[in-house]
Amino acid sequence: MLDLNQMDQAAYTLKAISNGTRLCVISLLADKEELNVSEIGERLQCEQSLLSHHLTDMRAKGILNCRRDGKNCYYSLKNKQITKILDCIQSCQCAE
C-alpha cells in the first residue's frame, strides 16, 4: 500500500500544477469547458511566451488538452477531477 513508484507518479502530476499561474489556469478551465490562449492570457497576469510554456508543459504532462481552430488554440482540462485538488488544498489552508 506504500508504493514509492505510485507516489512518484502522483508527485509528477502534483509538480505539474504546483505553481500559482498553473493553478489559475486550472481554476479558469474548471468553469469554462475550454478557452484559447489569448482568453487565458487576458484573465491572467502572464506574458505570452511564459503562458505558452506553462500550457505546453501542462499538456505534455497530461493535465491539459489542446485543440487548434484556425489561428487559435483551445485548451481544456484533460480530466476535470484535477479541479478537486484545488478545493482540497484550499480546505486544507483554511483548517490551519
Handedness of CA 75, 79, 83, 85 (dihedral sign): negative
Q: Helices marked H in 33-82 — which ranges?
A: 37-43, 48-60
Does 5 sit near DNA (CB under 7 A)?
Answer: no
Cβ-contact 40, 25 below 8 angstroms: yes
Does 55 sit near DNA (CB under 7 A)?
Answer: yes
Interface pick for DNA out of 6, 9, 18, 90 (rule CB under 7 A): 18
Site residues for a second copy per CB under 8 A: 1-2, 4-11, 13-15, 17-24, 27-28, 43-45, 62, 78-79, 81-82, 84-86, 88-93, 95-96
